[in-house]
Structure 1
Amino acid sequence: MFAWNWLRGKDSAPPPPPPKMVVVPPLFNYPPIGARTRMLDSSYNVLFGKLALKSLFHDYYQNPRHFSTTIMLQPIDDPHVDLIATVSGPLDHKPEQNVIGNALFRWQSDVNDPHTFMDLYVSTTDPILRMRSCAYYPRYGFGAFGVFPVLSKKREPSEDHGLMGLRYGSENLSIGVTLMPPALMPFALKDEVPKSAWLVSRMGRVTAGVQYEPQRGNEKLSNLMNWSCAMGYGGGLGSPLSPSFNFSLELVRSSQFVASFYQHMVVQRRVKNPLEENVVVGITNYIDFGFELETSVDDALATNNIKDSTFRIGASWQANKNFLLKAKIGPRSSAMAFSFKSWWKPSFTFSISATRDHADGKMRCGFGIQSESLREASYERADPNFVMVTPSKEHLAEGIAWETGKRPMLQSDVDAGHFDSLPKELRPLDKIL
């Protein structure tokens, strides 16, 4: 080695310093958990920002004076199956308040495609045993699904006898219908078919849709109380690495008006972490904001109280791969939630939430523990000469490249929708409406 350095000469340039890096943390939540069963439901119920708003206002918020424990397991040698078990109940156990336990066993035909699957659900409450199945063929856009309560204590609502559905989905259109299986349909319930129908279409950034959900006793198509309609305007590729937003207006059963707004922001900040290498200069954060307003438009139903007109505002901030802070406020109550996740194998998540009831002014807390082995998460590292979304003193280039393993990903690939080299949780859900 000494001889080689002497032959190179004293004036040879030293090797260039390693490029500075920006770390991209994995998502705190696991998007497929909330989205992998959406083919069982109407597209109308999951579009218009509804799925994102539900996650923002409910995930990691525990019921006051209650606890929740969740275990999500996946065998190492068979990633097509997984199990999710949950136990929840009150902290101060009373005879009238029972501890509820349930488990969901799922089989998925394709690890990267959650649309074709079958699962079994067991619970201490109704239904005791339920089976669900869905088959979707992306090449043709057609799918079929079914929900069948196998064991149930009572079968009063027609839904307790099972549901079947047919759907067609493409990048700009979704249409479907749900109905009761003819073999399981009691004679008295034959007039309730179909159970629901929907039509949703997208043109550019505008999405519009209608849904028919008949009320029991009056299933006429001319009854406006059986219809809901919505229109939304939004942008973004649907990937957590891309900022997105959605604004929607909805008229529910011609009696309730709902306006909502949701925005997902991807920001990068400077970081000085003694546990990281000196070349790490920044970190990517995820910030979400949502607003929802509900008000009655039917004078016959309005009683001029808080239930007829309400709103809620929520926000969340993921500072790194370990910490998540959420808050929401409304006229009835306000709440905050703090979650800590350790990325061991399996990972553990501890969450605590505090809820203040505005009626009595009391503060109540809830706790949650979650264990997960569905994925392996680690920081993705990228060269800030390409990766910084917002220009800074350390970045003046326009290109963006997310480096995953040995294959870099350029901004042109992100804009074109090529996410194959990214981890599964950082890709868009899919190109199906």
Structure 2
Amino acid sequence: MDLVPPVSDYPSPTAARARMSVPGYDVMFGKLSRRGLFDDYFMQRGGIDTRFVLKAKEDPRLQLAATISTSGDMEAQFRWHRDLDIPHTFVDLTASASEPMLRLRSCAYYPKYGIGAFGTFPFLMTNRVRSEDYGVMGLRYGSKNLSIGASFLPFALSGEVPYSAWLVGRRGSLSAGVQYKPLSGSKHPVPFTDPMNWNCAISYGMGSDSPLSPSLNFALELVRNTQLVASFYRNHVVGCTEGNTEYDFISLTNSIDLGLELAKRLDRDKPPENANDLSFQIAACWKPNEHVLVKGKAGLSKSSFAMVLNHPIMTFLTFNVAVERDHKQGTGSYGFGFCFKDI
């Protein structure tokens, strides 16, 4: 297996290695790659974010990450995973000072059998208004061509049904799946027959054996019978050079990511005051080498630009800047981010 190291391992790979703790439907159909393209490094607007990632040299399975922002947000996460090569069995503890919260998340996954269990349990919450605020647990089975599972509420209120369930199948380059996820607080007497509680998607991907990050992917998703989302993702490697052959790494010299999302409301009811009947955004990311990343996205209401620089000598330091323009308000904002890794 060839592993391609990114400019910085935050935040996309962090989400990728924790994907077994969420329903499979939420990361299939190229969603994981598109989410990284449209979201990563665009979050530092309006301030300065500093992130520290510390790993124990004696035991690299342990990691401590902390984020401090000038806006007052502070978060720290301690993580332990069992295997360096397959980090899907893990335990992490996240503490947040901005909104007092302590969250325990755990996942046990056995690739040999394709089965796993996961759970998320928040603590120290001052306002628990929903059953999921007391915790969510789930079971899953996955193979190369099938993902199936369900999550439930261990402290559910009387009459509540399973929290969610999903089924995704794959045949060659074609993937299709459905997800049952009832609306929070829904009192429908037969929730399984309510189309508002179902999502379904179909995608066509090429260039990769993984439905999580195909080189080219086109997907259609119907969300709660009210919204149709069309998306496109393309990763193109222009050139690469061999790096550390001991670990079989390949160092990218030039690669381009392209993505597009178009969402259209299907329900005839008038949308809320701040909601749009149509949303559209397009994004592009260019990595000319292993030390520089440039990306931008444009939409009907906002446009953003970000640049990431990884110091060639002080490899533990990554700097990024993000700029956003609000077309409707005619205003702009910017922010900076610093990441200190393995110091």
Alignment TM-score, normalising by the size of structure 2: 0.89
| 1:65 counterpart SS class | coil
Structure 2 counterpart of 1:315, one-letter code: A
* Match of residue 37 from structure 2: 56
Aligned AA (2:335): G
Aligned residues: 325
User: 8 Å contact 2:253–2:290 — kept in the other structure?
Assistant: no
Q: TM-score, normalised by structure 1?
A: 0.71
Which of 168, 183, 198 does residue 200 from structure 1 map onto? 168
- Counterpart in 2 of 1:308? 277
Question: Which residue number corresponds to residue 262 of structure 1?
Answer: 233
AA in 2 matched with 1:28: V
Distance 2:99 2:24 in 1: 26
Which of residues 69, 92, 112 in structure 2 aligns to 1:139?
112
Is residue 2:186 matched to residue 1:217?
yes
Superposed CA offset, 1:94-125 (max 9, x none): xxxxx010111001000111111111111114
- 1:140 counterpart SS class: coil
Alignment of 1:159-198 (within 5 A): 159-181=132-154, 184-185=155-156, 189-198=157-166
1:333 match: 302
- The answer as to whether partners of 1:62 and 1:367 remain within 8 angstroms in 2 is no
Which of residues 126, 129, 134 is equivalent to 1:153?
A: 126
Q: Which has the higher helix share?
A: 1
Residue 27 (structure 1) aligned with residue 6 (structure 2): yes
> Aligned equivalents of 1:350 and 1:332: distance in 2?
27
Give the aligned residue type for 1:75.
A
State the identity as a percent. Answer: 45
Extract unaligned runs of 5+ from structure 2: 242-250
2:290 to 321, 326, 330: 321
**1:147-171, Cα deviation, whole Å (9 max, x unpaired):** 1112211111211110110001111
SS at match of 2:296: strand
Contact 1:177 / 1:194 at 8 angstroms: preserved in 2?
A: yes
Indicate yes or no: 2:227 matched with 1:246.
Answer: no
Task: Letter of the 1:174 partner, please give it.
Answer: S
Aligned match for 2:319, one of 344, 350, 353: 350
Match of 2:78 in 1: 105
Task: Output the CA distance in 2 between the equivalents of 1:117 and 1:33.
Answer: 12
Change over 3 Å in CA distance of 1:301–1:170 after alignment to 2: farther
Counterpart of 2:192 in 1: which secondary structure?
A: coil
| 303 and 101 in structure 1: CA distance in 2 versus 1, 3 angstrom threshold | closer
The CA deviation string for residues 189-231 of structure 1, in whole angstroms up to 9 with x for no partner, is 1322300000001000000000001112235100000000000
**SS in structure 2 at match of 1:190:** coil
Specify the alignment match of 2:55 in structure 1. Answer: 74
Name the residue aligned to 1:85: 66
* 8 Å CA contact retained: 2:30, 2:214: no
2: CA distance between counterparts of 1:64 and 1:150?
29
Are the counterparts in 2 of residues 121 and 129 from structure 1 also a CA contact under 8 Å?
yes
Once residues 149 and 366 of structure 1 are traced to their aligned partners in structure 2, the CA distance between those partners, rounded to angstroms, is 30
1:289 counterpart = 2:289? no
Distance 1:304 1:234 in 2: 36
Shift in CA distance, 206/127, structure 1 to aligned 2, threshold 3 Å: farther
Q: Give me the whole-angstrom Cα distance separating, in 1, the residues matched to 2:100 and 2:216.
A: 37
Structure with more strand by fraction: 2
CA distance in 2, matches of 1:127, 1:51: 28
C-alpha contact 1:126 1:153 (8 A) present in aligned 2: no
- State the SS of the aligned residue for 2:25: helix
Q: Quick one: structure 1 residues 127 and 210, their matched pair in 2 at CA, closer, same or farther if it must change by over 3 Å?
A: farther
* Partner secondary structure for residue 289 of structure 2: coil
Query: Which letter maps to 1:147?
Result: T
Instruction: Give the corresponding residue for 2:248.
Output: none
Conserved in 1, the CA contact under 8 Å of 2:80 and 2:92? Answer: yes
Q: Cα 1:318–1:230, aligned 2, differ >3 Å: closer, same or farther? A: same
**What is the CA-CA distance between 1:346 and the residue it aligns to?**
5.8
The root-mean-square deviation of aligned C-alpha atoms, in Å, is 2.4
Residue in structure 1 matched with residue 245 of structure 2 by the alignment: none
Give the 3 Å change call, closer, same or farther, for CA 338–116 of structure 1 in structure 2: same
Superposition deviation, residue 61 in structure 1: 1.1
SS at match of 2:308: strand
Alpha-carbon deviations, 1:288-322, whole Å to 9, x = none? 00000111000014479861211000000011111
Q: Larger radius of gyration, structure 1 or 2?
A: 1
User: Any unmatched runs of 5+ in structure 1?
Assistant: 1-23, 91-98, 271-281, 375-433
Q: Is this contact kept in 2: 1:62–1:68, CA < 8 A?
A: no
Q: Structure 1 149/314 Cα, relative in aligned 2: closer, same or farther at 3 Å?
A: same
